[in-house]
Amino acid sequence: MRKRRGFLAASALSVAAVVGALAAPAQAASYDGSCNADEACLYRYADYTGGIYDTIQSKQSYTGTYYGTSVAIDNTVSSVKNRDTSDNLWLYQNAYWSGDTWGVPKGASTNLGGSFDNMPSSHCWSPATSGCPGG
């Protein structure tokens, strides 16, 4: 009888885990090599090619690499997609949201032009039209 109770309890927990997993909403995975909804997608080359760095977080300093590579993103970004639908994405020339800025409106994509190509070192999200607080 004791073994049967243990089996029934384990079966009930297994069913609850499966039902819970099916009911959970899908979430975008940050830094998975795909440009998903709500992410900033930074590309090594123009026209959204080369390596990708995708994130849902503001970054005070670019210390990471493009997904699946050893190429640092700091000062190497040439194109950007802002997949967020509520906030603008602000790219900054220097770390800690300082220096020249380049705004990417919510839902927009752009090739970084002129002197800002290969310049970004940080970014943040903001509903403001003039950059981020403290930036």
- CA 67 distance to own-chain centroid: 11
How does pLDDT run across 19-65, given as a tens digit for each residue? 344 444 444 578 999 999 999 999 999 999 999 999 999 999 999 99
Q: What is the pLDDT of residue 28?
A: 54
CB neighbourhood size of 26 (10 A) = 6
pLDDT tier, 123 (very low <50, low <70, confident <90, very high otherwise): very high
The total number of residues written for the chain in this structure: 135
Helix (H) or strand (E) holding 35: none
0.95 exceeded by the pTM?
no
Q: What is the pLDDT of residue 128?
A: 83
Residues 6+ apart with CB under 8 A from 61: 74, 95, 96, 121, 122
Dihedral sign of CA atoms 70, 71, 73, 75 in order: positive
* Mean predicted confidence (pLDDT) in 71-99: 96
Q: What is the pLDDT of residue 6?
A: 44
